[in-house]
Amino acid sequence: MQRRVFLRSAAAVAVLGSLRFSGFAFAAGGGPEDKLIEVWTGEHGGYPAFDLVNPTSIKAALEKGMELSRAEIAEIAGTYGAPTFANTIAALEDSGRALDRAQRFFGTFTSAMNDQAMQDLQTEMSPVLSAFGDDIIQNARLFARIKAVYDGRATAGLSPEQNRLVEYYYQNFTRQGAALNDADQAMLKELNQKLASLYTKFGQNELADEENYRLTIETEADLEGLPESVRAAAADKGKWVFTNTRSSMEPFLTYSAKRDLREKGWRMWIMRGDNGTATDNKAVISEILQLRTQRSRLLGFPTHAHWAVANNMAKTPQAAMDLLMKLWGPAARRAQEEIADMQAIADKEGAGITIEAWDHRFYSEKVRKATYDLDQNEVKQYLQLDKVRDGMFWAAERLYGLQFAKLDGLPVYHGDMSVYEVTRDGKRVGLWYFDPYARAGKSSGAWMNEYRTQERFKDDVTPIVSNNANFVKSGSGPVLVSWDDAVTMFHEFGHALHGLNSNVTYPGVAGTSVKRDFVEFPSQINEHWFPTPELLNRFALHVDTGKPIPAELLAKIQKSLKFNQGFSTVEFLASAIYDMKIHLAATPDAPIDPDAFEKTSMAEIGLPREIVMRHRPTQFGHIFSGDGYSAGYYVYLWADALTADAWELFEEKGVWDPSTAKAFLDDILSVGNAVAPDEAFRNFRGRDVDTEALMRLRGFA
């Protein structure tokens, strides 16, 4: 598996978790907080007022948003007359819009501009927002109205999308305890507030260990093996500083010829949140697991894993585990073969070592060169960040008719950001923001944000989305990215295309508001257009000469695409299996040591000692900094099964075939959750998914 990064939506911190609030209008003349929660107006369809955002204004906006939402919910719950779609479900869709906008600023800044003031605000407001969400879920009069509409939906004359929306609200409320008795609801509210605080603590601990640990090299001799671009990115006042982030450490581990420094950097990287300091996450994880199990049992599920997966396509933890284990055996065998190839090269060179985990990337690169005569650093000279971005635009235009035009003058929260207007046939589709560089206070990895969701409910509202990454900014000249980083850019842009191409009526089922194991499908399939000759010949241009990538080098790249699949698949599967196993094993009373469980569970499946989990427990933000991907890291593989099968259709018809691209746009990208995911896939593919396509894609068939 290529680099997999989580979809980090600002809406992920929304008050109800999965309920989506959207807006409210105000008279002019208020404070900055009013500007944050007013309808976004101005040219290009309106835009977020990032120039007015600070912790004080966000807090005031959140508080005012909650106040307004309480009044709106009280009005809906107290409506006179029988519950109907219009006076209950549609009214809920139109409520809380002010709070939604405040929430999106809050989520954006806690992921991208999380300085100490924002961290303090996050610590303060996360449990407050959790309690507010529970107050709405536990509003008995409101839930009674939702249930009445749900029970009568078969004879209410609803459209298919309206019916999906009714089911969406009813399932969200019941999954979060709306039907519990008063005592259990009080307990649930307490558990959710505790969990909200722990999620914040976990994420802040992880961020602290990324920012406070550095590998500093003071002599040029210790840079042996590092390409000039890696050296330049690390240069800092006569020294070379490698930060504790993936974008900095992976190139170092791949190229550094100094084995002792590789080990030092590797240990620093994998020990984030596990250093026995004030930012250690082990106790945080143990408490999260206990509280989640208590909550799941209150909600009628034996474990958190059962609760989480019931709302996904997989339905049961066993179904998810079956897919994971189907791939584990072939992937582990391939990984052992790859390690043997590395050891052979080390022995041939007379290194006198046994391959260890900190050697893996270094010797893997040697194997790549020996097997395919392919030097990734040579490839990197053809991968300029701006050109890769332009390639994303070109592919989106060819496939879906989208055009991107850079805008100047719109407010941004950091000077590194850029903004583009997206159009199709001259008509505005939305706005796309790009925030590519690493900095203090920014979460590591890459993600997509949805600042505003598409809808046609009251007005024709166009979406606003962003892509965010952590590339190391170059001191001068173009920023060069690795092959995997370029694939990641296409992956995250796939999420952006999912949000931009949404074409439904109601925001609650728009864009990326789909099942968690379906949401990665559009992003993962978008990766497949990056390696195509048509794209690379246009945008893989040498940083110095500007010449396109030579045909001989392109042929080597295409030949090597399945290289190292054992390692990349195993490190992902280890994380996904751990995630599912520990959530199945957790109990309300007995704390679990996450490190000890890691050793035991990895021994059970036979994880090669030369490979560690892609995300070790104490830095596994996907599953411990929120509920989003908890007991759900498997979803990348589930979506990959959909992707592999769908991509075979593109290959059969031609990867740029207009009719196939149009079908994908109409059946997958545009429908959001207005169509059930299994039905949407059948509409596109003409049948249910063939999971053997995944084995063929990985080269394990």
CATH of the domain at 570: 1.10.1370.10
| Cα 115 from Cα 109, distance rounded (Å) | 9
Residue 184, token pair as written in the block:
């259990």
Tokens 């074409």 -> residue: 503
Place of tokens 């596109």: 684
Residue numbers of the chain with a pLDDT score lower than 50: 1-29
**Amino acid identity, residue 357?**
A
Q: How far apart are the first and last CA of the chain?
A: 15
How many domains in the chain?
A: 3
Same domain membership, residue 179 and residue 265 = no
Contact (Cβ atoms closer than 8 angstroms) between residue 464 and residue 431:
yes
264 and 290 assigned to the same domain: no
In 3D space, the residue among 420, 503, 439, 531 whose CA is nearest the CA of residue 210 turns out to be 439
Residue 464 pairs with which residues in a beta bridge? 431, 452
Place of tokens 């960040």: 385
Is residue 453 one of the residues assigned to a domain? Answer: no
Helix 140-151 with 160-175: angle, nearest 10 deg: 140
Which of residues 575, 605, 633 is at a domain's end?
Answer: 633
Looking at residue 11, what is its pLDDT? 29
Among residues 586, 612, 633, the one where a domain terminates is 633
Query: Half-sphere exposure of 443 toward its Cβ, with a 13 Å CA cutoff?
Result: 29
Task: Of 641, 4, 611, give the one whose Cα is nearest residue 332.
Answer: 611
Question: Could you give the CA distance from residue 326 to residue 321 in angstroms, rounded to a whole number?
Answer: 8
pLDDT (0 to 100) of residue 477: 85
Active-site residue, selected from the candidate residues 492, 520, 527, 610: 492
Contact between 549 and 537 under an 8 Å Cβ cutoff? The reply is yes
Instruction: Tell me: do 101 and 118 sit in the same domain.
Output: yes
Q: Quick one: 97 and 147 in the same domain?
A: yes
Same domain, 26 and 92: yes
Q: Write the DSSP symbol of residue 214.
A: E
Task: Identify each DSSP E strand in 369-477 by its residue range.
Answer: 402-407, 418-424, 427-437, 447-452, 464-471
Encode burial over 588-610: b for 16+ CB neighbours within 10 A, e otherwise.
Answer: eeeebebeebbeebbeebebbeb
In this structure, the answer to whether residues 44 and 166 fall within a common structural domain is: yes
What pLDDT does 428 receive?
98
Q: Are both 168 and 43 inside the same structural domain?
A: yes
In a domain? residue 455: no
> Given this model, what pLDDT does residue 473 score?
87
Q: Look at strands 214-217 and 235-236 and give their pairing.
A: unpaired
Rounded Cα–Cα distance for residues 305 and 402 (Å): 39
Q: What pLDDT does residue 701 have?
A: 76
User: Which pLDDT does position 32 carry in this prediction?
Assistant: 67
Domain that residue 577 falls in:
282-374+564-633
Phi, psi of 467 (to 5 degrees): -115, 140
Instruction: Copy the structure tokens of residue 245.
Output: 């982030």
Q: What is the pLDDT of residues 620-639, one digit of tens each?
A: 999 999 998 999 999 999 99
Confidence (pLDDT) at 5:
30
How far CA 430 is from CA of 163, 351, 492, in Å, comes to 27, 55, 17
Do 252 and 361 have their domain in common? no
In a domain, 201, yes or no: yes
- For residues 346 and 248, state if they share a domain: no
Phi, psi (deg, nearest 5) at residue 172: -65, -45
Whether 80 and 223 map to the same domain: the answer is: no
Q: Is residue 356 part of a domain?
A: yes
Residue 7 has a pLDDT of 31
Q: Provide the pLDDT for residue 9.
A: 28
**Residue 582 resides in a domain:** yes
Q: Dihedral sign, CA of 517, 173, 504, 98?
A: negative
Judge if 231 and 365 occupy the same domain: no
Q: For the segment 581-625, what is each residue's pLDDT rounded down to a tens digit?
A: 999 999 999 999 999 999 999 999 999 999 999 999 999 999 999
Asked if 506 and 92 count as a contact pair (C-beta separation under 8 A), the reply is no
CB 177 within 8 A of CB 184: yes
N residues, the chain: 701
**Which residues, including other chains, have CB under 8 Å from residue 39's CB and lie 6 or more apart?**
23, 24, 25, 46, 97
Residue 166 is part of a domain; what is its CATH number? 1.10.1370.40
Give the per-residue pLDDT at 393.
98
Share of the chain above pLDDT 90, in %: 92
Give the C-alpha distances (Å, rounded to integers) separating 693 from 293, 523, 660. Answer: 35, 18, 18
Strand partners, 589: none
What letter represents residue 245's amino acid? T
- Predicted local confidence at residue 700, as pLDDT: 84
- Is residue 517 domain-resident? no
pLDDT of 302? 97
> How distant, in Å, are the alpha carbons of 326, 328, 329, 563, 696 from that of 700?
11, 10, 10, 12, 6
> Identity (one letter) of the amino acid at 12?
A
Q: Are strands 418-424 and 427-437 parallel, antiparallel or unpaired?
A: antiparallel
**Edge-to-edge strand order for the sheet containing 447-452?**
402-407, 418-424, 427-437, 464-471, 447-452
3-state helix, strand, coil in the chain (%, to 5): 60, 10, 35
492 labelled catalytic: yes
What pLDDT is stored for residue 474 in this prediction? 78
Phi, psi (deg, nearest 5) at residue 235: -60, 135
Among residues 205, 225, 250, the one where a domain terminates is 205
Shared domain for 128 and 222, answered yes or no, is no
Structure tokens that stand for 468 in this block: 């965010």
Domain for residue 304, yes or no? yes
